[in-house]
């Protein structure tokens, strides 16, 4: 380990920016203009709601597209079989929520 790595590790271990010492001791080493390390937490509830609403809407659209494409199969007794129905539902929900995630990531 080089000296620079040791120094970085020592500084990260002894970081007191957010500790009680930095709040109480207004000495020369305390930094008050550091940005919030937690990052932005704004609109997290609205993003979550938007994610689920878009996911369900897109999933329902894909379910109807799947039922329309395989109309003859599902309406001639295929709906009574578990495997094709589960494949349609699971693939529709996974595609719907994946596309919802991509849409939200590009928009925000």
pLDDT at 9: 75
pTM: 0.54
Q: Token digits for 33?
A: 């203009």
Decide if pLDDT at 36 tops 90.
Answer: no
Tokens for 44, please give them: 């997290």
Kindly report which listed range (22-26, 45-49, 63-67, 87-91) carries the lowest average pLDDT score.
22-26
* CA angle at 30 for the pair 27 and 35, rounded to the nearest 5°: 155
Instruction: Please state, as a whole number, how many other Cβ atoms lie within 10 Å of the Cβ of residue 56.
Output: 14
Instruction: Read off the pLDDT of residues 50-83 as tens digits, 9 standing for 90 and up.
Output: 999 999 999 999 989 988 888 777 777 655 677 7
């Amino acid at each position: 380990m080089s000296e620079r790595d040791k120094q970085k590790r020592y500084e990260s271990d002894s970081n007191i920016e957010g500790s009680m010492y930095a709040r109480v001791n207004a000495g020369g080493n305390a930094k008050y203009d550091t940005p919030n390390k937690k990052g932005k937490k704004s609109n997290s509830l609205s993003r979550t709601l938007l994610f689920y609403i878009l996911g369900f809407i897109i999933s329902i659209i894909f379910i109807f597209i799947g039922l329309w494409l395989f109309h003859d199969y599902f309406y001639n007794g295929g709906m009574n079989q578990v495997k094709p129905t589960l494949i349609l539902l699971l693939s529709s929900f996974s595609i719907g929520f994946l596309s919802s995630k991509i849409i939200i990531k590009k928009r925000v």
